[in-house]
Structure 1
Amino acid sequence: MSILTNLKKDLNFIEDIYSYSNYTENEFSVEKKKIFDEFLNAVEEQLLKSDITKIKKVSAELNALMEFYKINSLKDLPKTDMYCFLHTDTYLGKNIAKILENVFKKNGIGNVFIETSSYLRTSDFEKFSFSLSELAKKLAETLKEYKSNGYKIIFNLTGGFKSINSFLQTVASLYADESIYIFETSNSLLRIPKLPVKVDDTIFIEHFDLFRMLDLGIYNERIKKEIYKLPEILYLEIDGDFIISAWGTLVWQEVKENTYKERLNNPISDKIRISDYLKKQFEDLNPFERLQLNKKIDDFEKAVATNFGYNPSSLRFHELEGKISKIYKYEFYPFDGDDSRRLYIREDEDGIYILDKIDKHLK
């Protein structure tokens, strides 16, 4: 938002920008949207023709980035690095991110992507809290993937809404290698290295299946009975439903991944059983395969809970035909990628799904 307010005077813009900071596109009147659209176009043109001194003056975020890399032109940013613009779920936030994306690309920097979460705006506390939970999950998964591919994670915490930045500082303490911050037009960059944070995960281990249900959005009587055993900071209640809070999600994603690599998930639904044979097979899988299998079992749990209204293409649960159908009734894909293996499922006389074994594609 500082880019808009800092260029407001230069571009003779008379509207109060902060009054519209939480507006979505639909909340603008046709006339007001036209006025802001013209202003946003002028902002992009101004940034594209400005020299580095002007850019650093109007954008504290870009100033911090330039100081971090010790460069004097956006063209000099490393082209092998990835740049993520996290913006609020608002009309101005979205457009500022698009402007920065265009400015970067027109300066030859193509590895840019934009990220947000629905309702990531401060006008509604409940929706904002829900949005932070979704964002926490998304960031935890994304950052782990980049980390596993050898990337160093840097959080630029300059600018933005204070309520979001305080959350990002917590995310950074768990998942970033370093955080950077600069005060407006200062050239003194504050660099905060990753601190050796150890989070007590006991509560997550003790109530592991409860957190799994909250994570999957499976609501039943068990949740209603057990949820209040958890510290209030770890969950949110919205319209009678429960979700893991943003702070809980940050820790849960770490606990979940580590645990999924070690042990096979127990069934949540009483309509699912796991055979002893599959339990033995699990022990022979490598940690990555164990993680994938447990995630697919979670997908199957959600599919059963929704009467198969949920059946993602990555799971591909379906009924079998041909000779194999005389032994197994269903199958799903236990691993991602080009893996030819399937998880075969029997169904007993009570309609219980028995996850029986992993095998090659049988016909």
Structure 2
Amino acid sequence: MIINRERNNNFTNGVKDLLHWLEKNLDIENYKTQGYEIIFNLTGGFKSLQGYLNTIGMFYADRLVYIFEAGGELIEIPKLPIEINPQIFKENATEFALMSVDYPCEAINIPKIMLEEYEKNTFLLSEWGILAWNKVKKQILAEKLLAFPKLHFEDSFKKDFQNATPQQQIDLQETLAKVSAILLQNIDGVSQMKQQGGLQYDNFTGKNSIFGHFRLNQGSRVSCLAKNNELYLRHFGQHDYVNDNP
């Protein structure tokens, strides 16, 4: 059997895009709190995709159903009792976070099934790596600050992290992974951050002009001091809080 490598890569990237979409748009806990039941209907579609959707549904869905073509009968596919051991993810959390934003890592201690080779001796997350990381990352990212390369945490920043909500901590660390990746990939990472529409890096004006800031989301900011292509993070929180306490 001849496999078209380009077509196979496109298919794999499509599955990854689907996983990112599910993570962004399918707030399972919120839906369950509101009394919704999540059902994956595997009827129709490409046969090559059904195997992936079956496995993905084991993690995201309450029920998996399928309508057999001949009889039109609704068949329920039993769910396997899958549980992810978070230990390997906790031990390699920084690498998982960086690979989740497409920064290749050596990933020496991570099982190969979770990895996709990028270049010799460096890897990105495979479809299964993305799926597994998405299921455990919220718990891990809300536990403690990860030691991202090129980033240093002032005591004031650590205090802000401790006082933040779990969701704020998660959003922060996902953004820090992107920032760390930019600094690692560029000689002048700060200039690249200024060109990133999502981060919108800029310097304060007036007496605080030596300090910079970048955006987490519409209302939250991080203040920092840039030095030798590294950032010393000082505060994070709402726009006004960071502006008043750079």
Which TM-score bucket, shorter chain as reference?
0.7 to 0.9
8 Å contact from structure 2 (residues 157, 235) kept in 1: yes
RMSD: 2.7
Partner of 1:354: 232
8 Å contact from structure 2 (residues 182, 192) kept in 1: yes
Select 1:190's aligned residue among 67, 75, 86: 75
Partner of 2:60: 175
SS in 1 for 2:168: helix
Q: Deviations over 1:142-174 (max 9, x none)?
A: 22x365254432211012222211111111000
Give the superposition deviation at 1:246: 0.7
Matches within 5 A, 1:252-291: 252-267=133-148, 269=149, 271-291=150-170
Give the superposition deviation at 1:140: 2.7
Larger radius of gyration: 1
Give the superposition deviation at 1:323: 2.6
Partner of 1:329: 211
Partner of 1:160: 45
Distance in 2 separating the partners of 1:228 and 1:361:
41
Change (3 A) 1:179 1:292: same
Partner of 1:38: none
8 Å contact from structure 1 (residues 130, 245) kept in 2: no
Change (3 A) 1:189 1:123: farther
Give the residue type in structure 2 aligned to 1:202: Q
Partner of 1:313: 197
Partner of 2:172: 293
Distance in 2 separating the partners of 1:277 and 1:184:
62
Distance in 2 separating the partners of 1:288 and 1:309:
27
Change (3 A) 1:302 1:250: same
Change (3 A) 1:317 1:323: same
Partner of 1:230: 110
Give the residue type in structure 2 aligned to 1:167: Y
Change (3 A) 1:231 1:244: same
Q: Deviations over 1:97-135 (max 9, x none)?
A: xxxxxxxxxxxxxxxxxxxxxxxx997334433432333
2:15 is the counterpart of 1:132: yes
Give the superposition deviation at 1:233: 1.0
Q: Which structure dedicates a bigger proportion of its chain to strand? A: 2
Distance in 1 separating the partners of 2:178 and 2:123:
19
Distance in 2 separating the partners of 1:315 and 1:255:
25
Give the residue type in structure 1 aligned to 2:85: D
SS in 2 for 1:152: coil
Change (3 A) 1:188 1:292: same
SS in 2 for 1:290: helix
Identify which range, 245-254 or 255-264, moves more after superposition. 255-264
Distance in 1 separating the partners of 2:47 and 2:119:
27
Q: Deviations over 1:52-83 (max 9, x none)?
A: xxxxxxxxxxxxxxxxxxxxxxxxxxxxxxxx
Change (3 A) 1:123 1:280: closer
Give the residue type in structure 1 aligned to 2:202: H
Change (3 A) 1:122 1:139: farther
Distance in 1 separating the partners of 2:202 and 2:6:
43
For normalisation by structure 1, the TM-score amounts to 0.56
8 Å contact from structure 1 (residues 122, 128) kept in 2: no
2:95 is the counterpart of 1:210: yes
Q: Deviations over 1:320-355 (max 9, x none)?
A: 222321xx4200123x34x3x53211234x453100
Give the superposition deviation at 1:249: 1.0
Partner of 1:56: none
For normalisation by structure 2, the TM-score amounts to 0.80
- What percent identity do the matched residue pairs reach? 27
Change (3 A) 1:304 1:130: same
Give the superposition deviation at 1:215: 1.4
Equivalent residue pairs, number: 229
